[in-house]
Structure 1
Amino acid sequence: MKTGIIGLGKMGGALLRGMLKAGAVVPENVWVYDHHHENVQALQEEYPGVHEAPTEAAAADAVEVLILAVKPNGILPLISSLSERGAELPLLISIAAAISLDDMEACASDGTRIVRAMPNTPCMVLAGVIAYSAGTGVTDEDEEAARRLLSGCGSVYKVQESQMNAVSAISGCGPAYMFTVLDALADAGVAMGLPRKTALELAVGTMLGSARMQEQTGKHPMALRDEVTSPGGTTIAALNALDECGFRNAWIQAVKRAVRRAEEMEEH
């Protein structure tokens, strides 16, 4: 399937590299456009055969599916400019946060098919989480094409668009939360005398293993936590310290704050 992308920033680059790495697309069937030529050049060095489109319109004309990976404030002008040419547009997949399907469809020519998706940066290592909602003109075949592309990078979930801000706050922002936890655990290890490299590797391995354990057992996280927590032991002492610092509430408030910010962005 001929696939294009406009925007090779952190998220767009991560998503496309994940698709290429997974074999969901082959370089010869990929067209990219980015204002910064060096971003395209870096991708072509990794994946020879990728085409650089000279313009945004050229990228749209060359492909069957076009991923829009520009900043949120650029997505509506981009869709408008592509639509004004009068040519039928390919299936559009927008990964812009806080820009609704209604707003995008209002800028598009009649019949334009749009999928709104929210990937995260682990797509680059094929361990992403991607949620999507389909616009009014999207057919079953379109949706299957979008799922096939996105699933090369990780787990794909269809959600109601009204849930997209919550998705963004958990899985979209989530890698930043996890990296912060890893850094804090590494700092704690260093404070207790461990070499930083060792402390970070211990933290990473523990996070990976714990997530895999929950995924494979299907047990409630608290049930798994209790299996580690002996009466009067070190784990319960550590958990009590987290509670004293408001750890659980901090996570909840972080997600709420991210949702609130997304809602503010939608209003503007």
Structure 2
Amino acid sequence: MKVGFIGIGSMGSLLIDSLVGSGALEPSNITASNRTFAKAEKLAMQHPGLHAVQHNSDAVIGQDIIFLCIKPLEFKPVLEEISGIVREDQIIVSITSPVMIKQLEELLPCKIAKVIPSITNYVCCGATLCMFGNRLNESDMSRLKRLFSAISTPLIIDEKHTRIVSDISSCGPAFMAYVLQCFIDAAVQETGISREEAVVVASAMLLGTGQLLTDGGMSPEALQARVSVPGGITAQALALLEQELSGVFNAVIQTTHAKYEEDLERVALSLNGKEVNGP
């Protein structure tokens, strides 16, 4: 299987690193282009055998799957560059949430999918969110799911739920890391424990918590009940958190959705000069 990547920024390079590191792809089967060619050359040095090319068209010709790992407003010039050379049997995979599958199907003759990765894929865990266009057959979908199974748990979702599921799966690691950072900072300030020790303990705690919520079969509510004794230390702290954090994550979701709606409008105007009301 030959795979092309257009754009190797944060998520594009993460996907390549993960897929190569897991053994799902050999570097020799990957062709990558980037607006800054030196970045593609550097990636090729990190993964000997990977083909760095200067033109996006060269990342399309001869490939079975082509990943578009670019920003929303970069789609129009890239699509104009590749639309005349994409074959109907090729699969284009966008990892950009506000670009709709329907929009890509209107502008390209090939098969279209959308996949939202997560930084957790770097250590071959977490989810990848998969959405498939109408032109993909069962074999195409199975091929993509097998590819992503090497670095994650592929989850098939409805495109209309892209934002909220992305909030949890893709933005969530940053949100939880921020909460953990605040916990660590407070521990250091209040007690004098070294930051290094607090980071080690807190990180191990978060890993174990994730395993309890997955392999351990616990729900968040059940985990709290198991740790918290009525009238005890944990119960008092949880009561404080409930009071202080009330509505915080509602506001977080409202913020991400507002930005998403803004991006949807900007992408629609960029691609076809008209507004949309969402997916």
The verdict on a shared fold, with TM-score over 0.5 as the criterion, is yes
| Structural mapping, 1:64-75, within 5 Å | 64-75=64-75
Report how far residue 131 of structure 1 moved. Answer: 0.5
State the alpha-carbon separation in 1 of the partners of residues 167 and 220 from structure 2. Answer: 20
State the alpha-carbon separation in 2 of the partners of residues 118 and 186 from structure 1. Answer: 30
Report how far residue 88 of structure 1 moved. Answer: 4.5
Report how far residue 256 of structure 1 moved. Answer: 3.0
Q: Specify the alignment match of 1:35 in structure 2.
A: 35
Q: Specify the alignment match of 1:212 in structure 2.
A: 211
Tell me which of 142, 157, 174 is aligned to 1:159.
157
State the alpha-carbon separation in 2 of the partners of residues 76 and 129 from structure 1. Answer: 28
Q: Specify the alignment match of 2:102 in structure 1.
A: 102
Report how far residue 141 of structure 1 moved. Answer: 1.3
What's the C-alpha RMSD, in Å, of the aligned pairs?
Answer: 1.6
What is the count of residue pairs matched by the alignment?
265
Report how far residue 264 of structure 1 moved. Answer: 2.2
Equivalent residue of 1:35, what SS?
coil
Report how far residue 195 of structure 1 moved. Answer: 0.3
Contact 1:69 1:94 survives alignment (8 Å):
yes
Q: Specify the alignment match of 1:6 in structure 2.
A: 6
Report how far residue 87 of structure 1 moved. Answer: 4.8
| Structural mapping, 1:116-195, within 5 Å | 116-191=114-189, 192-195=191-194
Report how far residue 160 of structure 1 moved. Answer: 1.0
The letter of the residue matching 1:195 is: S
Deviations 1:202-258 (A, max 9, x none): 11111110010111132221111111001221111211221221x252123212321
- Worse overlay, 45-54 or 73-82: 73-82
State the alpha-carbon separation in 1 of the partners of residues 108 and 89 from structure 2. Answer: 9
Tell me which of 247, 253, 256 is aligned to 2:254.
256
Deviations 1:30-74 (A, max 9, x none): 111112233223322321111112311111003111111011111
Tell me which of 69, 91, 111 is aligned to 1:113.
111
Percent sequence identity over aligned pairs: 27
Equivalent residue of 1:32, what SS?
strand
Contact 1:169 1:259 survives alignment (8 Å):
no
Contact 2:115 2:131 survives alignment (8 Å):
yes
Equivalent residue of 1:130, what SS?
strand
The letter of the residue matching 1:14 is: L
State the alpha-carbon separation in 1 of the partners of residues 118 and 256 from structure 2. Answer: 15
Q: Specify the alignment match of 2:274 in structure 1.
A: none
State the alpha-carbon separation in 1 of the partners of residues 158 and 120 from structure 2. Answer: 23
Q: Specify the alignment match of 2:236 in structure 1.
A: 237
Equivalent residue of 1:173, what SS?
helix
Cα distance change of structure 1 residues 211 and 87 upon mapping to structure 2, 3 Å threshold = closer
The letter of the residue matching 2:169 is: S
State the alpha-carbon separation in 2 of the partners of residues 264 and 91 from structure 1. Answer: 28
Cα distance change of structure 1 residues 248 and 147 upon mapping to structure 2, 3 Å threshold = farther
The letter of the residue matching 2:65 is: V
Report how far residue 196 of structure 1 moved. Answer: 0.4
- Worse overlay, 251-260 or 187-196: 251-260
Deviations 1:65-109 (A, max 9, x none): 111101111124322321134754621110012111111111113
State the alpha-carbon separation in 1 of the partners of residues 237 and 254 from structure 2. Answer: 26
Contact 2:56 2:81 survives alignment (8 Å):
no
- Worse overlay, 176-185 or 83-92: 83-92
Contact 1:76 1:107 survives alignment (8 Å):
no
State the alpha-carbon separation in 2 of the partners of residues 216 and 15 from structure 1. Answer: 25
Q: TM-score, normalised by structure 2?
A: 0.90
Unaligned residue ranges in structure 1 (runs of 5+): none
